Structure 1
Amino acid sequence: MIPGEHEDEDPGEAELFEHYSFQAASGQEPLRIDKYLMNLIRNATRNKIQQAARDGNIRVNEQVVKQNYRVKSGDVVRVLFEHPPYEHLIKPEAIPLTIVYEDDSLLVIDKPAGMVVHPGHGNYSGTLVNALAYHLGDMPMNSDSRPGLVHRIDKDTTGLLVIAKTHQAMAHLARQFFEKTTEREYIALVWGNVEEDKGSVEGAIGRNPKNRLQMQVFPDGEQGKEAKTNYEVLERFRYVTLVSCRLETGRTHQIRVHMKYLGHPLFNDARYGGERILKGTTFTKYKQFVDNAFALLPRQALHAHTLGFTHPVSGEWMAFRADLPPDMTSCIEKWRHYTRHVTDE
């Protein structure tokens, strides 16, 4: 199966990582690290542990070690799994879903802010996958062994997701995402007055070597994967800009990383520095105004607004739209009012 691409997924809860940390007890006899971890991590297979070692994701005393390293007394061991070892133990939970469309092959949902897409470190329940397991029962696995998921958005991004209900739908939809024949538009509020009315950002995206919970642009493409975002200004509010972003690829945190690369981090995006006042005056009233706007929208200002794809059975083109959620509309209206009525220069 060809995997779908994953726009804006949070690596802390999606592809990267399940975290465990242990300190070897005093008197610990030397023991191969794979055996040591199997004794401590429930449901983790030896193959999964050895794969983590091959990927450089097992560290002892902050140094990467191989699978034959022998743990000794006092060692601090940290392991990062690419996928949770309990992925086959997903519990159905009666969590309400906003279903935009559903038939025998798929459903489209409007995900709220705060909902993690699938179980991961620190989020063992309350996820979209838990809700889907309750709503749908059996679901086809994607290439990452995650039920129903064709693509993902992170915890604090709102908007549209398509979910496969059959193996045929999973394969067909995954191929569309891989071949870039889907259409996806996101609405974002970004810091600064975006200079061009429309444009494109191209730059390979890969993991930040200094902070593995962040992604970054590698403009010469020496690392990461190719990525392209087309943007268009929708409205300007002096110190922030409302933009539409259309994806040609779907890399982790693509819009957030590309807009930061342009010099326009998303409003209140704490992971990429947007939770600070980046543009504007030093007046106390302005600071209070921005703090109030942050309170209205306590997350990054990003919404998966439209989604289009070909139905895997009928061949019909399907197009969906999700209105901006109340937290974004309230924040935008606050900036709109500020632009019209406030003079602070």
Structure 2
Amino acid sequence: MSFRLQVLYEDNHCLAVAKPAGLLTMGDATGDTTLLEHAKAYIQQKYQKPGAVFLGVVHRLDRPVSGVVLFARTSKAASRLSEQFREHRIEKVYWAVVAGTVTPVQGELVQELEKNPSTNVVHVVDRATARSQPCRLNYRKLAQYRAVSLIEVRPETGRSHQIRVQLAHQGWPIVGDRKYGGPPDFTAGQIALHARALTFDHPTQHTPTTVQCAPPATWKQWSFPVDGASSSFENSNS
């Protein structure tokens, strides 16, 4: 995948970039190029680093998902940001385009999810098991266009495939997400799930910092009011 790295926020401790759908956040068994590699190359070139570049991976997005990814530029920042993710103190906002009409237009989904390790498929279970994990998210419908809806999702837990599975279980599969029953009419290797914003406590300034990322150009096929959505950051000290 050829692309120019889009930097959303950068300082001496943090680097937030826009991940394109279809690109790995970090390495896996495929050996494919990753966002982490591109981000390290950016730091190395910009600051003329002679040796290896440190970037701590504090979270990741599924390969077919686009949006904000935050890296730590120091080990101290990596430790503090990782702790925030573990303790669910990071505020995450996603946008998703789903099949069907979403009713009710807002609500909370609380379910138990269980992952099949042999197939890497996650499903909702009726009751807690030794392998299941409790999951919670809040959603609200933003717009409707023909047979699809644009919704905002705020997960309170960060389980594998959580948003994809919980929405599909409600009968609202994400467009392009063939794995969970979504309509296939979307760019191959991508799904219409976008990490719109991330708010974290800055690891050294200890101020709330929000990073936003506009949806990808592929979303323009729908007449949603997203053209004005920006990529930006806000810091309470700025």
TM-score between the two structures when normalised by the length of structure 2: 0.83
The 1-side partners of 2:137 and 2:36 are apart by 28
Distance 1:204 1:110, change over 3 A: same
Q: Which runs of 4+ in 1 moved over 4 A?
A: 295-298
1:219 to 115, 122, 126: 126
Distance 1:130 1:207, change over 3 A: same
**Maintained 8 Å contact 2:176/2:186:** no
The 1-side partners of 2:186 and 2:96 are apart by 17
2:38 to 131, 149, 155: 131
Higher strand share: 2
1:331 to 221, 226, 236: 221
Tell me how far 1:218 sits from its aligned partner.
2.0
- Alignment-mate amino acid for residue 156 of structure 1: P
- Alignment-mate amino acid for residue 307 of structure 1: L
Note the alpha carbon deviations across 1:235-267, whole angstroms, 9 max, x for none.
123422110000101111111000011111111
Partner of residue 310, structure 1: 201
Tell me how far 1:179 sits from its aligned partner.
1.5
The 1-side partners of 2:103 and 2:183 are apart by 21
Specify the SS of the correspondent of 1:115: coil
1:253 aligns with 2:161: yes
Higher helix share: 1
**Maintained 8 Å contact 1:95/1:131:** no
The 2-side partners of 1:135 and 1:266 are apart by 32
Q: Structure 1: state its 5+ residue gaps.
A: 1-93, 140-146, 277-293, 335-345
**Maintained 8 Å contact 2:124/2:169:** yes
1:63-142 aligned within 5 A: 96-122=4-30, 124-136=31-43, 137-139=52-54
- Alignment-mate amino acid for residue 106 of structure 1: C
TM-score between the two structures when normalised by the length of structure 1: 0.58
Alignment length (residue pairs): 215
Specify the SS of the correspondent of 1:169: helix
2:211 to 313, 320, 323: 320
Note the alpha carbon deviations across 1:214-233, whole angstroms, 9 max, x for none.
11122312132111111000
The 1-side partners of 2:3 and 2:33 are apart by 7
Partner of residue 197, structure 1: 105
- Alignment-mate amino acid for residue 123 of structure 2: Q
Tell me how far 1:309 sits from its aligned partner.
0.4
Distance 1:295 1:256, change over 3 A: closer
- Alignment-mate amino acid for residue 234 of structure 1: L
Distance 1:96 1:152, change over 3 A: same
RCO higher in structure (CA 8 A, sep ≥6): 2
The 1-side partners of 2:112 and 2:210 are apart by 29
Distance 1:266 1:95, change over 3 A: closer
Tell me how far 1:134 sits from its aligned partner.
2.4
Q: RMSD in angstroms over aligned alpha carbons?
A: 2.2
- Alignment-mate amino acid for residue 108 of structure 1: A
The 2-side partners of 1:218 and 1:331 are apart by 35
- Alignment-mate amino acid for residue 153 of structure 2: C
Specify the SS of the correspondent of 2:223: helix
**Maintained 8 Å contact 2:195/2:213:** yes
1:264-279 aligned within 5 A: 264-276=172-184
- Alignment-mate amino acid for residue 217 of structure 2: P
The 2-side partners of 1:135 and 1:238 are apart by 41
> Percent identical across equivalent pairs?
30
